[in-house]
Amino acid sequence: MRTERNGLGGVFVVAEVRRSGIHSCTLELVSKARELADARGREVTAIVLRSPSEEPVEPLFRHGADRILLVEDERLGSLNAEVHSRIVAHLIGKGDAEIVLAPATTTGRTLLPAVAALIHTGLTADCTGLEIDAETGLLLQTRPAIGGNVIATIKTPDHLPQMATVRPKTFPVAPPQDRLGRVERPLLDESLFCTSVVCLGEESVEGEEVDIQGLDVIVSGGKGLKRPEGFRLLQELADLLEGAVGASRPTVEAKWISYPHQVGLSGKVVAPRIYLAAGISGAVQHLAGMQTAETIIAVNKDPEAPLFRVADVALCGDLYEILPRLIDAIRREKEERHD
């Protein structure tokens, strides 16, 4: 509570550490944290919990961190909600954090609620906007609700720290600066690692990009594909644009594609720079997952398709005619650039 804490420790970011290393959404948060900390005249601290690794942490300094709290331990290689949340709660408490941010990934959305419960403070999920209120100095947290139809602004007036999870790709990564900071390796009490949960194993889903949320381009298909092979065409287009393939629910239910690709109310909420939907009608449940995309392109043979109403570009016709032509046009454009 505010009475026991005063928040002089500034803005803390919980780094997203994956098997491949520190994920780029961490840099987005560090960049935003820098902005917030400057507005408050405070420091930015990044918390990195991982198994011993050679990966340098300096990029976090270049994008805005002043200090890195680095905890390396074999037992931190795989997420253990109990242990990780206890350590984060300990570090932000000891560091007297005013604001704590974590990415709204499966990890961040698991850890931060547990941290909030441990230290009794508020938490706002999936924020798409963060700013310091000039009058009160409080963090104003903006989040979409009910599938982006309502935007709520939330604050945590009487508790510290003020905590939020933030969707990846919400904030840009700031240009790198020539700056350094301090790496501290806090010594942690053995009791923090105490757990009764056993990790039985981890599997990557082979040959499949399951994480569609972090990409600039998503190319989605719906029932209008008519057959599962249609997704190959979409994959071809997605590969050209270094994007991911998304899907409407019926195609997932028909097992044309796996669940991690599902966009919508009961799937993923995405906000890519380009969302292309082919053969998707645009039911509210689907719109709920994609209508905040920067640009929406819809391909549908039905001129009345509801998705056209939220699209920036509507291509009306048979997707099996339009998509190959679009793929050709993109190839030609890319080749020209290459010559």
Partner 1 sequence: MKIAVLIKQVPDTDEVKMDPEKGTMIRDGVGSLINPLDLNALEAALFLKGERGGTVTVLSMGPPQAERALREGLALGADRAHLLSDRAFAGADTWATAKVLATLLEKTGPYDLVLAGEKATDGETGQVGPEVATLLGLPFATYVSRLSATDGGLEVRRTVEEGYQRLRLPYPCLATVLHDLNEPSMPTLAGKKRGRRAEVTRWGLSDLGLEETEVGLSGSPTRVVRIAHPKITRQTAFYGARDLDRGIAHVVALLKEKALLQGGGQA
Q: Which is nearer to partner 1, 58 or 126 (CB)?
A: 126
Report, in Å, the least distance between residue 55 CB and partner 1.
Answer: 16
Q: Which is nearer to partner 1, 6 or 266 (CB)?
A: 266
Q: Which is nearer to ligand FAD, 61 or 256 (CB)?
A: 256
What is the torsional sign of CA 11, 100, 27, 46? positive
Which residues 44-83 are close enough to bind partner 1 by CB under 8 A?
78-79, 81-82
Report, in Å, the least distance between residue 61 CB and partner 1.
Answer: 25
Q: Which is nearer to partner 1, 52 or 207 (CB)?
A: 207
The answer to whether 173 contacts partner 1 (rule: CB under 8 A) is no
Q: Which is nearer to ligand FAD, 58 or 126 (CB)?
A: 126
Distance CA 72, CA 56 (A): 13
Report, in Å, the least distance between residue 173 CB and partner 1.
Answer: 15
Distance CA 232, CA 4 (A): 57
Report, in Å, the least distance between residue 168 CB and ligand FAD.
Answer: 19
Which residues 284-323 are close enough to bind partner 1 by CB under 8 A?
284-285, 288, 291-292, 294-297, 303, 308-317, 321-322
Residue whose C-alpha is closest to residue 309's, from 300, 317, 318: 300
Residues of the shown chain interacting with ligand FAD in the complex, contacts defined by CB under 6 A: 222-224, 248-251, 262-267, 279-281, 283, 285-286, 289, 299-302, 305, 318-320
The answer to whether 254 contacts partner 1 (rule: CB under 8 A) is no
Phi and psi for 182 in degrees, rounded to 5? Answer: -105, 135
SS3 category, 69? strand
The answer to whether 126 contacts partner 1 (rule: CB under 8 A) is yes
Distance CA 143, CA 62 (A): 28
Cα 119–chain centre separation? 24
Distance CA 135, CA 253 (A): 50
Site string (190-219) toward partner 1, x via CB under 8 A: -----xxxxxxxxxxx----xx-x--xx--
Q: CB-side exposure of 69: number of CA atoms within 13 Å? A: 25
Report, in Å, the least distance between residue 59 CB and partner 1.
Answer: 20
Distance CA 307, CA 142 (A): 26
**How does DSSP assign 118-140, residue by residue?**
HHT--EEEEESEEEE-TTT-PEE
